[in-house]
Amino acid sequence: MKPIQLFDAASSTFTYVLFDQITRDALIIDPVDEQIERDLAVMREYGLKLAWTVETHAHADHITSAGKLAELAGAKTAAPLGCGIGTAGVQLAHGDTLSFGGEVLRALHTPGHTAGSMSLVWRHHVFTGDTLLIGGCGRTDFQSGSAKDLYRSITQVLFDLPDDTTVWPGHDYHGRHHSTIGAEKKHNERVAGKSEAEFIALMDSLNLPKPRRMDEAVPANQMSGQRQDAGGVLFMEPRPASGPHAGSYAGDVTPQLAWQWVQAGAP
C-alpha cells in the first residue's frame, strides 16, 4: 500500500495522504495552504474521513493549511514538540504514534534542519520532511538548525531503518518522487561516504539565500496556518475562497457543515 503523493509546484513541496483502506480514516502530512481545494477534492474522490493533519516541522517556504483542514473536517492536529507550533493539539515526541483506523504512524525525532524536525514512519515508508531529500538533505542555517544534529539524524536514525524502506521527501527540485534508505546510504551526495566533520564543513560552506517567504511563513506555520487579528484573536479566513465551494466556510456556516457540503459535492 502506497501513500497518495501530491505536489505544489510553487514551493516544490510534497504533501502526503495516508488512509486505512477499510475504515477510510486518513491523515495528511505537510499540506500547503494554496492547495486546500485540491486536498479536499482528493478526500472526496477517495471517500476519506480526515482524522489528522500532521506537520514534519515549521516550514519556511510555504504556509500550511493544517489548521484550516482540521477545522473543516473536525480532525485533530499534530506537530513536532520543539517547533513552536503551539496551536497543534498533539505535540509529537520521539516514538509517539498516531492512529487512523487500524493504521499507525510513528514519529522519529530527526533534528538538524530545525531543532524539532520529525520524520514519520508508516509501514515500510518514511516521510522525511526536509531532513533527508533524494540525493541531498535540508539546510541547517536557520530555526536552530545544526549540521552535526542533521548528520546524526540521518546516519544514526534514518539509516537505521531497513534498506528497503521507501523514502518520501518533503521536497524535490528535479522531478523525482521517492527513493529508498539503501539507495540514500550509497548515493546521497551530501552524506554517503562522508565523516561528520566533512558533512559539517560542507553544510557550513553552502551560503544559501534566505527563503523568500520565511518571514511570513514561519510565524504563520507556528499557528498551524491560522491568522490573528489586531487583538491577537485567532480567526480563519473564508475557505475555500474560490472554485465550486467558494464562501462555504464563512458567516454562520460551521466548518463541519462546510466539510459535509464538500464531501457531498454540493455547489
Do 10 and 34 contact (CB within 8 A), yes or no? Answer: yes
**Per-residue model confidence (pLDDT) at position 214:** 81
**Taking the CA of residue 180 as centre, how many other CA atoms within 13 Å lie in the half-sphere pointing to its CB?**
8
231: pLDDT strictly greater than 70:
no
Average pLDDT over residues 51-72: 94
Tell me the pLDDT band of 200, cut-offs 50, 70 and 90.
very high
Tell me the pLDDT band of 122, cut-offs 50, 70 and 90.
very high
Do 55 and 117 contact (CB within 8 A), yes or no? Answer: no
How far apart are the C-alpha atoms of 203 and 7, rounded to whole Å? 26
* Residue 167, C-beta contacts closer than 8 angstroms, at least 6 positions apart: 126, 128, 132, 134, 158, 178, 179, 180, 181, 183, 184
**SS3 state of residue 17:** strand
Cell numbers linked to 203: 553544510
**SS3 state of residue 29:** strand
Average pLDDT over residues 34-62: 95
pLDDT tens digit sequence for 154-163 = 999 999 999 9
Tell me the pLDDT band of 241, cut-offs 50, 70 and 90.
very low
**Per-residue model confidence (pLDDT) at position 227:** 59
How far apart are the C-alpha atoms of 244 and 49, rounded to whole Å? 20
Q: Of 61-65, 78-82, 163-167, which gets the smallest average pLDDT?
A: 61-65
234: pLDDT strictly greater than 60:
no
**SS3 state of residue 39:** helix
266: pLDDT strictly greater than 70:
no
35: pLDDT strictly greater than 50:
yes
Do 217 and 59 contact (CB within 8 A), yes or no? Answer: yes
What is the pTM for the complete model shown?
0.85
Q: Domains plus CATH for the chain?
A: 4-209 (3.60.15.10)
